[in-house]
């Protein structure tokens, strides 16, 4: 994946990579992206859902969305996704850390205007969040499509960064009587809760029952 000085990893570069497959894998495992942009001298960072298709990310929201309106003007943006895999508990306060996977992507977004392309983009977002759901539900009406803004964000360059493993303490601290190690954290799907107006004879879809996000 392309990279320039803006996506160069300066802090602990050994943990970083510009490998496209790794970047895509982290993006595919996430749910929420934080989108950074600036308008009229004021920076904003907005959390949003997304979907990926190749080197393109799709964002969606209300046609009144300030973020999508501004990004639709082809201004530069930065999108980040972070997955927390564990708390790293060291023997000293200074060396506490976190195991994580993250992506920082740069590029410019464009509004998707064509109805068929908007539907494909919405399907991409839906299938990213819960594969199989799109084929079960009513697709958006023409009125709903008009009320929705879709942004296609082309990733011009990106970097991934990962931390794994135990704490890295000072050699002199390994003898301290302090428990140290990693507290793993995962995103776990609980038992689905049906809406009160779901027909009693409707079975829970298999893709909901088997849901897992790595």
Mean pLDDT within 18-34: 95
C-alpha 154/C-alpha 156 separation (Å) is 6
User: How many CB atoms are closer than 10 A to CB 106?
Assistant: 20
Could you tell me which residue, 1 or 136, shows the higher pLDDT? Answer: 136
Q: Which residues of 67-80 are buried (b: 16+ CB within 10 A; e: fewer)?
A: bbbbbbeeeebbbb
Tell me the C-alpha distance between 182 and 81, whole Å. 22
Buried b (16+ CB within 10 A) or exposed e, 48-65: bbbbbeebbbbbbbeeeb
Fold of the 5-188 domain: Pnp Oxidase; Chain A (2.30.110)
Q: For residue 2, what pLDDT is reported?
A: 63
The residue-averaged pLDDT of 138-166 equals 95
- What b/e string do you get for 135-155 counting C-beta neighbours within 10 Å, with b at 16 or more? eeeeeeeeeebeebbbbbbeb
Could you read off the pLDDT of 150-162 as tens digits, one per residue? 999 999 999 999 9
The arithmetic mean of pLDDT across residues 104-128, rounded, is 95
Say yes or no to pLDDT of 8 above 70. no
Exposed/middle/buried for residue 83 (C-beta within 10 Å: 0-12, 13-18, 19+): buried
C-alpha distance from residue 136 to each of 11, 64, 102, 178, 192 (Å): 45, 28, 32, 53, 17
Residue 40's pLDDT is 87
Q: What mean pLDDT is predicted for residues 120-142?
A: 96
Average pLDDT of the residues of the chain: 92
Q: Indicate the domain borders of the chain.
A: 5-188
């Amino acid at each position: 994946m392309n990279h320039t000085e803006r996506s160069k990893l300066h802090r602990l570069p050994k943990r970083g990579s510009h490998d496209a497959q790794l970047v895509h894998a982290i993006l595919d495992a996430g749910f929420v992206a934080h989108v950074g942009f600036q308008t009229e001298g004021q920076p904003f960072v907005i959390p949003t859902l997304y979907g990926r298709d190749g080197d393109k990310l799709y964002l969606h929201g209300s046609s009144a969305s300030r973020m999508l309106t501004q990004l639709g003007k082809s201004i530069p943006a930065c999108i980040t996704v972070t997955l927390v895999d564990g708390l790293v508990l060291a023997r000293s306060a200074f060396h506490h850390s976190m195991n994580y996977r993250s992506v920082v992507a740069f590029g410019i977004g464009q509004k998707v205007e064509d109805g068929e392309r908007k539907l494909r983009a919405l399907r991409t977002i839906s299938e990213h969040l819960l594969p199989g759901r799109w084929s079960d539900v009513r697709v958006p009406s023409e009125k709903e499509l008009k009320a929705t803004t879709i942004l296609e964000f082309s990733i011009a360059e990106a970097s991934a960064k990962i931390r794994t493993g135990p704490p890295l303490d000072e050699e002199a601290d390994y003898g301290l009587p302090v428990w140290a190690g990693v507290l793993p954290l995962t995103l776990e799907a609980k038992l689905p809760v049906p809406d009160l107006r779901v027909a009693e004879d409707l079975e829970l879809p298999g893709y909901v029952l088997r849901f897992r996000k790595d």
